[in-house]
Amino acid sequence: MTMFQYYKRSRHFVFSAFIAFVFVLLCQNTAFARASSNGDLPTKADLQAQLDSLNKQKDLSAQDKLVQQDLTDTLATLDKIDRIKEETVQLRQKVAEAPEKMRQATAALTALSDVDNDEETRKILSTLSLRQLETRVAQALDDLQNAQNDLASYNSQLVSLQTQPERVQNAMYNASQQLQQIRSRLDGTDVGETALRPSQKVLMQAQQALLNAEIDQQRKSLEGNTVLQDTLQKQRDYVTANSARLEHQLQLLQEAVNSKRLTLTEKTAQEAVSPDEAARIQANPLVKQELEINQQLSQRLITATENGNQLMQQNIKVKNWLERALQSERNIKEQIAVLKGSLLLSRILYQQQQTLPSADELENMTNRIADLRLEQFEVNQQRDALFQSDAFVNKLEEGHTNEVNSEVHDALLQVVDMRRELLDQLNKQLGNQLMMAINLQINQQQLMSVSKNLKSILTQQIFWVNSNRPMDWDWIKAFPQSLKDEFKSMKITVNWQKAWPAVFIAFLAGLPLLLIAGLIHWRLGWLKAYQQKLASAVGSLRNDSQLNTPKAILIDLIRALPVCLIILAVGLILLTMQLNISELLWSFSKKLAIFWLVFGLCWKVLEKNGVAVRHFGMPEQQTSTGVGKLSASVSHCCLSISGLWWQNFPRCI
């Protein structure tokens, strides 16, 4: 091939590529112009074809690279539109199916009321073998775990639906703002903006369609919010009731398993106490001694079985607590993220705080695990000592040659074999206890960690979140009616049949406190005079003493006692009057008495010409300022106590 032919052929190839490129640009401009003119978006196939043609080119100009990026972003936006539309269709289908699901949940909840009698269930379970019962226990535990998972899912969905209006409002507002910006850009009303590329214009139209699809989806979700909430609440009610039924069923199954295991253990113990061969020679002291050891092991085996059953129940209970705490933690974080600073959040936080598990309800398993390890170690040592039964029996018979014959020797061998079997079973029970105790300790540690974290979150949020509406003019106008409604909501009941006989006893119980308060009040003059005498002795070479100041402070403490004793007497009288809030009033009176004792003592010490001035040399101006600050602190504390009172009052009626 000559150089001229090669050049001619190359020029023909370049010309063909140029024609193809111009054709692609014309197609792009035509598609973009059509999309711009009628508002329709190009199909994914058209955009992908244009993008592929650009990707095949080796050298792209800056403008081509911008077009390439626009095409890529437009395709991604169209994918998002398709996904949003698919989610909207699924949402509509979910809302349409909600009434049927509610009907099914209602029917299932009604069916749960038709349960068998516990006695009949116990009779049926008593006929099953231990293996069958253990299989049913495992199945019940799986069902309960699935129910707990469903409950967590329903609660999470409910929290999402309850906080949906705020999220939808924010999302629609942001989308409308973005739509306005896109419209302004497409209309060319923004001053100083450059002209849009055709591909850029199609991209913005795709973004506009995406925002419209998102707004439509948010609107549809808000329309179906109530229906979905009602359905989920009914499903949650069913799962909650079903979980309670499963827990009760599991309790009955566990009782049957415990009874069956205990029966088998007692049977083994009876065989160990009175073997057939040993029964004929029970009078032999050596045989009787070994049988007593077997009997003690049998009792230990029964006790170990009962302890294992208790650990199983504790494991189930703590596991359920842990699941609920984890679920509460997930829910509360989502609620805090959405309901920022709202009154609804404060009510939710307060309710969650009341349901936190207390460490007092959990047993410290550290010492128990150590005891189980030690006991299992001792059992293994005893079992190893019985590995060679002949040698062990021969060692027992040493020194008892006159009491041992062939029958006694055979009986001792059987007793030792039975003891080895008892030790094997005891070791197995202790191993199960140790495993359950370790699992229980781990679950308790997780529970307390989650509860501590949840308590910290709740305490911090409750401190910062407004718990009431601001005290504006609307609040002041509504205060009389609110106060009236609050008093109407109080349901203080009195059991007069029990209260009247207890009034006299209550008065007698509070009478000593009232008498002591009266005695102190009667001797106040003498106490003040003696205190002045102690104050005058301060700085005196002959009369001053190191005990003068402690005596003066003790007198101030005694002077503050009458009000405290009266408060305690009133609380004690109310405690015995059988009111439905007696426990609350008694607890409140104890705390109020301590509060008054502390502040009363401070008042007495800081009073004019009191201990602070006469004994410690404090300036009177400083003590008067301290009394003023103390009075303000008392006022603030009274407001805080009243708030705590109204918070705790509804739980006590």
For 586-605, what is each residue's pLDDT tens digit? 888 888 888 888 888 888 78
Q: Which of the listed residues 234, 261, 288 is the one where a domain comes to its end?
A: 261
Q: How many CA atoms lie within 13 A of 450 on its CB side?
A: 22
Q: Which residues of 234-251 are buried (b: 16+ CB within 10 A; e: fewer)?
A: bbbebbbebbebbeebbe
What band does 36 get if pLDDT is binned at 50, 70 and 90?
Answer: very low
| Separation of alpha carbons 450 and 433, rounded Å | 25
Q: Which has more pLDDT, 127 or 37? A: 127
| Separation of alpha carbons 36 and 41, rounded Å | 8
Q: Which of the listed residues 452, 467, 482 is the one where a domain comes to its end?
A: 467
**Domain co-membership, 164 together with 23:** yes
| Separation of alpha carbons 207 and 189, rounded Å | 18
- Helix (H/G/I), strand (E/B), else coil: 579: strand
**Domain co-membership, 398 together with 343:** yes
Residue 14, CA distances (Å) to 7, 52, 87, 332, 552 in order: 11, 19, 49, 67, 113
Residue with tokens 């402690």: 550
Mind spelling out the 3-state secondary structure of 405-439? CHHHHHHHHHHHHHHHHHHHHHHHHHHHHHHHHHH
Question: Above 70 in pLDDT, residue 198?
Answer: yes
**Domain co-membership, 304 together with 226:** no
Q: Which two tokens stand for residue 502?
A: 């207890």
| Separation of alpha carbons 649 and 652, rounded Å | 5
**Domain co-membership, 28 together with 122:** yes
Q: How many CA atoms lie within 13 A of 463 on its CB side?
A: 6
The highest-confidence range among 25-39, 279-293, 356-370, by mean pLDDT, is: 356-370
Q: Which residues of 343-366 are buried (b: 16+ CB within 10 A; e: fewer)?
A: eebbebbeebbeeebeeeebeebe
462-478 tens-digit pLDDT: 666 665 666 777 778 88
What band does 271 get if pLDDT is binned at 50, 70 and 90?
Answer: low
What band does 525 get if pLDDT is binned at 50, 70 and 90?
Answer: confident
296-309 tens-digit pLDDT: 887 787 788 778 77
DSSP annotation string for 254-281: HHHHHHHHHHHHHHHHHHHHS-HHHHTT
**Domain co-membership, 244 together with 278:** no
Q: What is the pLDDT of residue 403?
A: 65
Q: Nearest 5°: phi and psi at 494?
A: -130, 130
Residue 288 CB partners (closer than 8 Å, separation 6+): 282
> What is the average pLDDT score of the chain?
75
Structurally, the chain folds into a number of domains equal to 3
**Domain co-membership, 332 together with 204:** no
Sign of the four-CA dihedral 325, 330, 335, 337? positive
| Separation of alpha carbons 554 and 537, rounded Å | 16
Query: 10 Å Cβ neighbour count for 527?
Result: 15
Is the residue at 478 inside a domain? no
- Helix (H/G/I), strand (E/B), else coil: 365: coil
Question: Above 50 in pLDDT, residue 527?
Answer: yes
**Domain co-membership, 556 together with 463:** no
> What are the contacts of 135-138 at 24+ separation with CB within 8 A?
136/253, 137/250, 137/253, 137/254, 137/257
| Separation of alpha carbons 155 and 644, rounded Å | 29
- Contact (Cβ atoms closer than 8 angstroms) between residue 25 and residue 189: no
Q: What is the pLDDT of residue 273?
A: 46
**Domain co-membership, 379 together with 432:** yes
- Contact (Cβ atoms closer than 8 angstroms) between residue 94 and residue 235: no
Q: What is the pLDDT of residue 260?
A: 75
What band does 16 get if pLDDT is binned at 50, 70 and 90?
Answer: very low
| Separation of alpha carbons 259 and 242, rounded Å | 25
Q: Nearest 5°: phi and psi at 29?
A: -65, -40
Q: What is the pLDDT of residue 377?
A: 92
Q: Which has more pLDDT, 325 or 192? A: 325
Mind spelling out the 3-state secondary structure of 140-181? HHHHHHHHHHHHHHHHHHHHHHHCHHHHHHHHHHHHHHHHHH
Is the residue at 95 inside a domain? yes
Question: Above 70 in pLDDT, residue 561?
Answer: yes
Question: Above 80 in pLDDT, residue 564?
Answer: yes
DSSP annotation string for 345-381: HHHHHHHHHHTPPPGGGS---HHHHHHHHHHHHHHHH
Is the residue at 2 inside a domain? no
User: Mean per-residue pLDDT for 353-369?
Assistant: 71
Is the residue at 491 inside a domain? no
| Separation of alpha carbons 410 and 342, rounded Å | 83
Q: Please give the residue range of the domain that contains residue 382.
A: 274-467
84-114 tens-digit pLDDT: 999 889 988 988 998 999 999 888 888 887 7
Q: What is the pTM of this model?
A: 0.49
CA 285 to chain centre: 61
What band does 492 get if pLDDT is binned at 50, 70 and 90?
Answer: low
593-648 tens-digit pLDDT: 888 888 888 887 887 777 777 777 777 777 777 767 766 666 656 555 555 554 44
497-516 tens-digit pLDDT: 666 666 677 777 778 888 98
| Separation of alpha carbons 594 and 567, rounded Å | 10
Nearest to 320 by CA among 246, 411, 428, 424: 246
**Domain co-membership, 135 together with 96:** yes
Q: What is the pLDDT of residue 497?
A: 64
Is the residue at 492 inside a domain? no
Q: Which two tokens stand for residue 538?
A: 């301060």
427-466 tens-digit pLDDT: 888 898 899 899 888 988 888 888 888 777 777 776 666 6
What band does 14 get if pLDDT is binned at 50, 70 and 90?
Answer: very low
User: Mean per-residue pLDDT for 118-122?
Assistant: 83
User: Mean per-residue pLDDT for 71-84?
Assistant: 89
46-68 tens-digit pLDDT: 888 888 888 887 777 788 788 88
Residue 620 CB partners (closer than 8 Å, separation 6+): 608, 613
User: Mean per-residue pLDDT for 398-403?
Assistant: 66
- Contact (Cβ atoms closer than 8 angstroms) between residue 528 and residue 520: no
Q: What is the pLDDT of residue 357?
A: 64
**Domain co-membership, 87 together with 235:** yes
**Domain co-membership, 282 together with 421:** yes
Residue 524 CB partners (closer than 8 Å, separation 6+): 559
Q: What is the pLDDT of residue 635?
A: 62
Q: What is the pLDDT of residue 21?
A: 38
Q: What is the pLDDT of residue 11?
A: 37
Residue with tokens 């203080």: 492
- Contact (Cβ atoms closer than 8 angstroms) between residue 625 and residue 606: no
> How many residues make up the chain in this entry?
653
End-to-end CA distance of the chain: 107
Question: Above 80 in pLDDT, residue 529?
Answer: yes
Q: Which has more pLDDT, 426 or 415? A: 426
- Contact (Cβ atoms closer than 8 angstroms) between residue 422 and residue 272: yes
- Contact (Cβ atoms closer than 8 angstroms) between residue 202 and residue 34: no
| Separation of alpha carbons 423 and 392, rounded Å | 15
Question: Above 50 in pLDDT, residue 25?
Answer: no
Q: Which two tokens stand for residue 579?
A: 């009111």
Strand partners, 494: 579
Q: What is the pLDDT of residue 404?
A: 65
Is the residue at 480 inside a domain? no
Dihedral of the CA atoms 565, 567, 569, 571 (nearest 10)? -150
What band does 19 get if pLDDT is binned at 50, 70 and 90?
Answer: very low
Q: What is the pLDDT of residue 547?
A: 78
Is the residue at 9 inside a domain? no
**Domain co-membership, 61 together with 105:** yes
Is the residue at 481 inside a domain? no
User: Mean per-residue pLDDT for 249-274?
Assistant: 66
What band does 3 get if pLDDT is binned at 50, 70 and 90?
Answer: very low
Sign of the four-CA dihedral 107, 111, 113, 114? positive
What band does 1 get if pLDDT is binned at 50, 70 and 90?
Answer: very low
| Separation of alpha carbons 504 and 255, rounded Å | 47
E strand segments, 426-582: none
- Contact (Cβ atoms closer than 8 angstroms) between residue 412 and residue 290: yes
DSSP annotation string for 2-17: -HHHHHHHHHHHHHHH
Q: What is the pLDDT of residue 100?
A: 92
Q: Which of the listed residues 208, 233, 261 is the one where a domain comes to its end?
A: 261
Question: Above 80 in pLDDT, residue 329?
Answer: no
